[in-house]
Amino acid sequence: MNIITRYPHMYILYILYIPSVLADNTQSNAFSAEASCYSLPYGDWGFFSHILTYYTVIVICCHKRPATPWIDSIPGSTWNRAIAIQSEPWLHATTPGIYYIPLSTLRPISRNSYLLSLRQFETIAAMKLALSLTSGFIAIFPSFWWLLLYLPGVIAGTAGTISLASSNFSPRMSTITAVFGGVGLAIAIATVFIFCLRFSGSDKNPFGTGALIGLSGYASCVPICLVFGALYSDWVLAIVADNLMGYPSGQSKSVQALWVLYMIGKRLNLLTI
């Protein structure tokens, strides 16, 4: 029985030509083994970390202090620049360590499945690095325009996450995919509806209703991808690794120490003033 007959609603992913290897138990075991070696925060810890990152970015871009959002930030603060400059090398130094050290000890069961899963995990790791880089720039130069720097990373990471999810589909994966997909679809529909109400009429919309629906739908996909891409990856990785907390408890002390350093580096922007 293939994945289409077991999960009929998965035909959408096949239309997008996302490969599935769920029927191959050997490949599925390889994905699970590598996911257990993926030591960047995911699951509960990763979700909480990304929520804090989004909060910090929004507050800083609104020219407020993350720790005390009712107080205005200090423009051009030397302290903020020092925090951002300190956190970036910290994150870029710890990320390869906590990701590649465990992978170097992994003995892949299948070379093809190993290479496929490696690409998927690398795109997710690249998305996290892109978010860290973007938040660092925002700490120095507060502006929502810096999110465009994060966009290529989150698109690649989301594609890798969807591919990883389809390669390891299960009832739990179906549930989490339905939740994120349903919320994202509801936001997109609401955005289209609001745009149509706001810009209805020939004087406000010279391009026609069809073009307005298409443009508003496309515009809603960008923030949905920016926000939900990393959050969805947290739970996909947690399900694949069978570790909902996301803490590398089964790894060495050095990997756990690097994980803690990564989490500290991610939170330094909360100290901006």
Which residues 6+ apart lie within 8 Å of 33 measured at CB? 106, 109
The partner residues of 186 in beta bridges, in order of sequence, read: none
pTM exceeds cut of 0.85 = no
Rounded to an integer, what distance in angstroms lies between the CA atom of residue 165 and that of residue 240? 8
* Structural domains of the chain, count: 1
In a domain, 185, yes or no: yes
In a domain, 257, yes or no: yes
What was the pLDDT predicted at 5?
Answer: 44
Rounded to an integer, what distance in angstroms lies between the CA atom of residue 40 and that of residue 154? 16
In a domain, 54, yes or no: yes
Which residues 6+ apart lie within 8 Å of 113 measured at CB? 21, 24, 26, 27, 30, 31
In a domain, 45, yes or no: yes
Q: Render 72-95 in DSSP notation, one character per residue.
A: B--TT-HHHHHHHHHHHHHHHHHH
In a domain, 207, yes or no: yes
What was the pLDDT predicted at 27?
Answer: 44
Question: Which structural domain, as residue segments, surrounds residue 231?
Answer: 3-16+26-271
Residue identified by tokens 């996450």 is 161
In a domain, 21, yes or no: no
In a domain, 249, yes or no: yes
Please say whether the beta carbons of 208 and 106 come within 8 A. no
Rounded to an integer, what distance in angstroms lies between the CA atom of residue 27 and that of residue 118? 12
Rounded to an integer, what distance in angstroms lies between the CA atom of residue 28 and that of residue 23? 8
Averaged pLDDT, groups of 10, the chain, 273 residues long:
44 34 40 52 86 89 87 79 65 49 41 58 80 83 86 86 83 89 86 74 60 71 83 87 78 76 78 80
In a domain, 157, yes or no: yes
Rounded to an integer, what distance in angstroms lies between the CA atom of residue 171 and that of residue 24? 17
What was the pLDDT predicted at 216?
Answer: 72
Helix (H, G, I), strand (E, B) or coil at 64: strand
- H/E stretch holding 157 reads helix 147-167
